Amino acid sequence: MRLHRRSLLALALATGLTAPSLALAQDDTIKIGLLATFEGPFTVLGEDGERGALTAIEELGGTAGGKKIEIVKGSSDASPDSAVRAARKLVEQDGVKVLVGPLSGDEGIAVKDYAKTQPGVTFLNGASAAQDTTFRDPAENFFRFGTDGAQWMAGLGTYAFNDKGYKNVAVVAEDYSFPYTQVFGFMAEFCKAGGKVPSKSWVPIGNKDYSSVIAALPDDVDAIYVALGGADAVNFLSQYQQSGGSAPLIGGSITVDQTVLTSQGKTRDVLIGTPAAGPTADTNDAPAWLAFTEAYKKQPNAFPSPSLFAHAYYINMKAAILGLNEVKGDVSDGGANLRAALSKLSFDTPTGKVSLDKNRNAVADIYLTEVVEGPDGNLLNKLIKVVPQVNQTLGIDEAEFKALGAVSRDNPSCE
C-alpha cells in the first residue's frame, strides 16, 4: 500500500513537472514532417529537396505563425509502400499536422490515398509530379504548389518539331506514373504538331544496364526522348556514349536536371545541346531566381544551381509556412482553416506567380531550356523561352482533357 502511494506521488510529481513543459512545447513549436527519398536510386534528389525546404524555412526566419518550426524527417526509397510507411510514421507516431512530401510520382499517388484516411492532417506535395495525384480522384487535404510532369513539358514538343526539326522520336522512360505523365505532356504537343513516336521503351526503375535497351532502339529516328532520373539517367547517358550512340537526345525534366548534370563521368558529350523543359532554368536572370540561388547555395553540399527538387520542396514548404502564418500557427481545428487559407493562397516564387486550381494543383510558369557549358565548365540549362501560367490541362478544355484518358504505357500513342 505504501509503495502504491509512493508511486502515485511520484507519478503526480512527474506529471506536474512535465505538464507545463509539454504545454510550452505545444505553444512554442510546430512540427512539420519532411518526407523525401533519402535512400535508393533517388537519394541525391531527395537530399537536394531537403536543401530546398530548409532554404524556405531559413528565408522565413525559422518560424511559422509565430511558432518555431521543428522539422521531422521521414525517408523513403521511391517506392510507394516505403513512402506510405514513412508518412504513417510521421503522422501517427511523431504527430505532425503538416507534412511536406513525397518526392517521386508513384509515392505521390500512394500518399494522396493515405491522406484520405487522415483528414485532420494537411499534406503538401514535395516534388512528385504524376498527373493523377491531383487530377483524378484527388484528396481534399493534399495540395500541390509545384506543377505536374505533363505541365513541365509545356513548349518542348512544339520546339522539338518546329525548331529542331525532329519528325520521328523514340522514347526511353522509367516504367511508373511520373514518366508516363512526362511522355504524355511531350507527346501531347509533339504529335499535335505532326511528329511520330514509333517506339517506346519502358524500363524498370533502378535498372543499371541499358545497353540492350539502347541496342533495341530503332535506327531511323531523328532523336531520342529520355525521361529517366538520378542514377538511372547517369547510367543510360554514359552507356549511350559508350555504345557510340549518335542520335541527339531530348530530355525529360529530371534527366537534364542539376542532379544529373553534376554527376561524375562521361555523360557530357551526349548532353550538350539537349533541349528539355521544366519548372526551372539555371540561367534564369530574374532577380527573384538569383536571390533564391544565393540563399540555396548557403546549404551544405549544394549544387551550383538548385535542382527542380530543391525548387519544388522550397515552394511547397514556403506555401506551408505562409498558410500557417495566416492561421497564426493554429491547427487545433484539424487544420480546416489552414486548408482554406492554402486553397486561396497565391504568391510570388523564384519562378513567377503560383496559384492553385480547384483540384489544388498549381498553375505556374514553365521554362524551355537547352543544355550548355557554363563559364566555369559545369553544365547548365540555358533558358530558351518561358511558357507563362501553364495549367494542369495544358490549356485544353477540362472535359476534353479528361477524355484523353489516364496516362499509361500505351496512352497516348502516335505511331
Partner 1 sequence: MSLLDQQRASVEGGGFTRRQAWGLFWLLLAAIVAWLIFAVWPAWLNAVLTSKKAFVSAVMNGLTLAGLYFLVASGFTLVFGLMRNVNLAHGSLYLLGAYIGYEVGARTGYWLIGVAAGFVVLAIVGVLMQVLVFRRLEGDDLRQTLVTIGISIVAADLMLAVWGGQTYQLATPEWLDGAVTLPIITAVRSNGASVFLTYPFYRLVVLFAAVVIGVGLWLMLNRTRVGMMIRAGVDDRAMLSASGVNVHAVFAIVFAVGAGLAGFAGVVGGSALSVAPGEDVRYLLASLVVVIVGGMGSITGAAIGALLIGLAEQIGLVYFPTYGVVLTFVIMVVTLAIRPQGIMGKAR
The contact set with partner 1 (CB under 8 A) reads: 38-41, 43-44, 46-47, 175, 201-204, 206-209, 211-216, 218-219, 230-231, 234-235, 238-239, 242-244, 263-267
Q: Measured from the CB atom, is 44 or 69 closer to partner 1?
A: 44
Q: Measured from the CB atom, is 239 or 392 closer to partner 1?
A: 239
Quote the least distance from Cβ 277 to partner 1, whole Å. Answer: 24
3-state secondary structure (DSSP) of residue 340: helix
Quote the least distance from Cβ 201 to partner 1, whole Å. Answer: 7
Q: Measured from the CB atom, is 17 or 216 closer to partner 1?
A: 216
Q: Measured from the CB atom, is 120 or 218 closer to partner 1?
A: 218
Quote the least distance from Cβ 243 to partner 1, whole Å. Answer: 5
Q: Measured from the CB atom, is 243 or 413 closer to partner 1?
A: 243
Q: Quick one: how many helices (H) and strands (E) in the chain?
A: 15, 15
Q: Measured from the CB atom, is 118 or 305 closer to partner 1?
A: 305
Please list the alpha-helical segments (H only) found in 228-280: 230-242, 258-261, 268-271
Quote the CA–CA distance of 118 and 33 in Å, as a whole number.
Answer: 14
Going through 6-117 in order, the beta strands assigned E by DSSP cover 29-36, 63-64, 67-75, 98-100
Quote the CA–CA distance of 106 and 79 in Å, as a whole number.
Answer: 7
Quote the least distance from Cβ 193 to partner 1, whole Å. Answer: 27
For residue 390, report the phi and psi dihedrals to the nearest 5 degrees: -85, 130
Q: Where do we find the cell 506514373?
A: 177
Quote the CA–CA distance of 12 and 8 in Å, as a whole number.
Answer: 6
Quote the CA–CA distance of 366 and 221 in Å, as a whole number.
Answer: 27
Question: What is the grid cell recorded at 168?
Answer: 520521328
Quote the least distance from Cβ 134 to partner 1, whole Å. Answer: 26
Q: Where do we find the cell 500518399?
A: 111
Quote the least distance from Cβ 44 to partner 1, whole Å. Answer: 5
